[in-house]
Chains A and B, each alone.
Chain A
């Protein structure tokens, strides 16, 4: 990034600012605390990776930012959710519709839920372009073809006439990315876009994302449970656990010098292909706590204690320690101060 671009970004403040986001769900059985005080910021042109195990609250965080969680049953609150000067939780739904898909776009975890099976690729792209007044009716075909070309779809003219189920998984994922890019968003949220793909096809999509990042220069939030895909894409990484941020750091620091014991444990639990074969993997015993049993107590626990991992059925209502701000990076947990020097 040229020095002046960096300067402008810094002066203008972050593109997205999230402070103390909470999301709960009410159900007959009780309430689920899915996201418990998450804070982060994304600046222009930056890629933020969000990593966490299943159920840690990654998708719910993204859906809350897009205002796509119906309330009720969801309950969304935050001190601040500001995007490009707009208070996203305060603006009305009409204003939100102008932002969603246009300035703030998302690629969802399940490709088939966001593509209409009875509409051709061309029509789906055209509807997006027309709804956001990107171009006139006579230009949509050319635009749509250019978008498919940009995401590396061969023979884009032919693919425009295809229906989603006529495309391979990799092609479908590219179409979704093309749709998300159609209005030139300032921020793209990609929720596990490669998890369902073969490793060789995943590699193609990662390559595409790196190229788009370079060429378009938009900001990206890349959500994944895979520390591998994040390593090559993110500038900064957030580690989530039980709806909280455990650690946040620039990508190199996070992998080279992880501060939080949970981050370290995660890194040591993955078998690797590079380097020598490790003798034994580091297993984290137990499993993440059930969000229905988490209390939302915000008091900081004191003393040294292990990360709460629950055996199912065994009550575990202690929240993991929340994140404290530690410039220039953050690692949650007071019980581990020893590690935070």
Chain B
């Protein structure tokens, strides 16, 4: 199957490996095969659901670089789902942050990292440990630790779903009325009573 061979090569695999069993591949190779499979029908739009979260960092970097290169070469549109904000910031042009099944903030990547508006986005950004001892000490001195655990998605809190974990809620509104996603600036949407205009 020449088409398969081309796709295998595209994701950096030797087409001779095509006859191997899945358990004979490494985690990174298996992920490359998954990507090859998704690309075989020549889609315009690919959904990647946590494609790197189970991989070691050295192999995660291979897959991220591969996705970036494929996106450039094939002009793909990617929806990349991940719990790792640093990975998303590296790979994606725009970022949508979700909490308990709702979008809470959507904007361009550098804007999200530099000027987050939603308190949950702020918490996510400031909770990520930094691989640098001095900057990590600065981070832990500055940030507020978010209280509690995420509530069960089966019985989300009334009103704003984030209100049980946010200490400076705005009185009654937050616990009763669910905020909608509103545009706070061109291309920047936030669902929070603090930014309801």
Q: Which residues of A contact B (CB under 8 A)?
A: 53-54, 168-171, 198-204, 206-207, 210, 225-229, 231-232, 251-252, 255, 265-267, 269-274, 277-278, 280-285, 287-288, 311-313
Interchain CB contact (< 8 A) of B145 among A207, A274, A285:
A207
For B52, the closest partner residue in chain A by CB is: A271
Interchain CB contact (< 8 A) of B146 among A200, A265, A270:
A200
A201-B149, A231-B130 known; 7 new pairs, CB 8 Å cut-off, are: A199-B127, A199-B128, A200-B146, A204-B145, A210-B140, A269-B58, A283-B62
- B62 and A228 form a contact (CB under 8 A): no
- B58 and A312 form a contact (CB under 8 A): no
- A198 and B130 form a contact (CB under 8 A): no
The docked-state distance in angstroms from the alpha carbon of A160 to that of B68 is 50
For B129, the closest partner residue in chain A by CB is: A228
- Chain B residue numbers with a CB within 8 Å of A282 are 61
* B176: min CB distance to chain A, Å: 24
Can you list 20 residue pairs at the A/B interface with Cβ under 8 Å?
Answer: A203-B127, A227-B57, A228-B136, A231-B136, A232-B130, A265-B58, A269-B60, A270-B86, A270-B131, A271-B84, A272-B131, A273-B113, A274-B135, A281-B61, A281-B65, A281-B90, A283-B61, A285-B62, A287-B26, A313-B24
- Chain B residue numbers with a CB within 8 Å of A278 are 90
Known: A198-B150, A277-B89, A287-B26. Is A228-B133 also a contact (CB below 8 A)?
no
- Chain A residue numbers with a CB within 8 Å of B85 are 199, 273
- B125 and A273 form a contact (CB under 8 A): yes
Interchain CB contact (< 8 A) of A168 among B128, B137, B149:
B149
The docked-state distance in angstroms from the alpha carbon of A277 to that of B64 is 14
Known: A171-B149, A281-B65. Is A53-B133 also a contact (CB below 8 A)?
no
For A252, the closest partner residue in chain B by CB is: B133
The docked-state distance in angstroms from the alpha carbon of A265 to that of B130 is 17
The docked-state distance in angstroms from the alpha carbon of A199 to that of B139 is 14
- A170 and B87 form a contact (CB under 8 A): no
The docked-state distance in angstroms from the alpha carbon of A276 to that of B110 is 9
Interchain CB contact (< 8 A) of A231 among B28, B65, B132:
B132
- Chain A residue numbers with a CB within 8 Å of B26 are 287, 311-312
